Structure 1
């Protein structure tokens, strides 16, 4: 469950600072929102209501995530993002946007399943629960359009306690466009505090792909 929350935190990269509109807001496992609320977007910039759906291999506990909130309208143009942490942990996300109050309150549109083909690039691969550091000599093969190596460290509320977590892997440039502003994003209401987030170019050198899933990095 904690691994799922950590990986799910990646989807928050699709929620940069917000605008003056009323949108449905939620973050939930599965296809449908649970306990959805309303969110008044910040009127300081041009915003839309957004729905983000993530599908993939997250853990044994679930393979779908939905997140709804406000989003910078400029970022609606890039509606697909992909992350690979290992061959056994990955997620593909699709976002849709609309521009009237509560227009994102309907059921989300699921992303098309894409064949995940290695593209010759590799990134460091690790996932670490109970620490905001994640260092490893293992790598993961990037797939399709993933050409960036990402690092994300965060604190998450779980069972009334705050739990640290960190993760490294491959990502699409579209995800990294959002990560650029992630540390300024207000995600406290969803139980997350971003400690550090960054992307660097993926490399093409030979390495052995990590195919294991370990909770301690």
Structure 2
């Protein structure tokens, strides 16, 4: 019939068929779906029989609007490496299936290979009409490129997601963004994330703007130790392009709250720091914490850090794994205690909380320490 219906749609149908298939002798792959963003808000393990997992990435541009979607699940080996492409002046479709062979290996991100813009000699009609199912007719043509070697004619009804626009930007070492763009968001509202990190004499102010996530609106994270201080605040707002505000973190409450925590810091090792020194917690910092991990600073230096101090319940979402300025390379341990009786609970060892990339792409919004809230 045409390239769009016979090639692209057949790939999509086959992908959906594989998603809803059930097998015996399972192996484990990650499973998740987002029809309106390039990352899955929630992911879980699913049992499969094949020896591969997959990530399906799709991009659609239609009449001035862009849409990105992603699916993770067990792989249909017949689809591995499949690339679908259709282009018209007002419509563009790209789809790619990326497979891997290890357990839970489909941890990657949205990915579609770059277009091959080399003309291939095929000339096709080029027209677009909305509001009708009649055939569009035009004398306009387009020179096809890359793998697009067939002409197509598509007529049908399409339901598109509803988006609102928000400002999007990121600065790791400043309270202002040099480059601000407008992005569509699949939910109502926008947000501004402001962060401050002080570590061993160096301090970093950071800001991020993007689509709002309601679970984090108003969240204030705080952690303190003599040589480490972390603050993070998420401000949300309703309406189009409402996140045009500036860097803002509420002032600290210096009032002692009665909690006393261990207070130690060492770098160059992932071993537990031990000290008889204590710190009097203040304000909202209502529990003790211990952190050990390998982190990369904005100057690209990488170091191992181990320290203990005070934190609040939201601080899991703003530890180094969530810092805009400081990138966590490896988290070894993140423990907290609710009282000075030192009843500890491990909340992050061997798992990942909210990372910078997650913040930018809305992945893993439900942190493993969400039960603290």
TM norm structure 2: 0.37
Residue pair 2:269, 2:306 contacting (<8 A) in 1 also: yes
In the comparison of the two structures, how many residue pairs are matched? Answer: 177
Q: Distance in 2 between matches of 1:174 and 1:98?
A: 20
Q: Alignment partner for residue 216 of structure 2, among 75, 98, 116? A: 75
Unaligned runs of 5+ in 1: 1-16, 206-217
Q: Distance in 1 between matches of 2:326 and 2:179?
A: 11
Q: How does 1:145-160 map to 2 (within 5 A)?
A: 145-158=284-297, 159-160=299-300
* Residue aligning to 1:130: 268
Q: Distance in 2 between matches of 1:91 and 1:171?
A: 9
Q: Distance in 2 between matches of 1:166 and 1:103?
A: 39
Q: Distance in 2 between matches of 1:186 and 1:92?
A: 11
Q: Structure 1 or 2: larger strand share?
A: 1
* Residue aligning to 1:95: 234
Correspondence 1:25 to 2:161 = no
* Alpha-carbon RMSD: 4.2
Over residues 58-117 of structure 1, what are the superposed CA-to-partner deviations in whole Å (9 max), with x where a residue is unaligned? Answer: 66544x62231567421214x32322213x754444321246787546532342x33412
Q: How does 1:40-189 map to 2 (within 5 A)?
A: 49-54=191-196, 60-62=201-203, 65-68=205-208, 72-77=213-218, 79-86=219-226, 90-98=229-237, 104=243, 106-111=245-250, 113-137=251-275, 138-158=277-297, 159-176=299-316, 178=317
Instruction: Select the structure with the greater relative contact order (CA < 8 A; seq sep ≥ 6).
Output: 1
Unaligned runs of 5+ in 2: 1-38, 42-67, 69-165, 343-373
Shift of 1:126: 1.7
Residue pair 1:48, 1:98 contacting (<8 A) in 2 also: yes
* Residue aligning to 1:198: 335
Residue pair 1:85, 1:169 contacting (<8 A) in 2 also: yes
Distance 1:152 1:61, change over 3 A: closer
TM norm structure 1: 0.58
Shift of 1:161: 4.5
SS in 2 for 1:28: coil
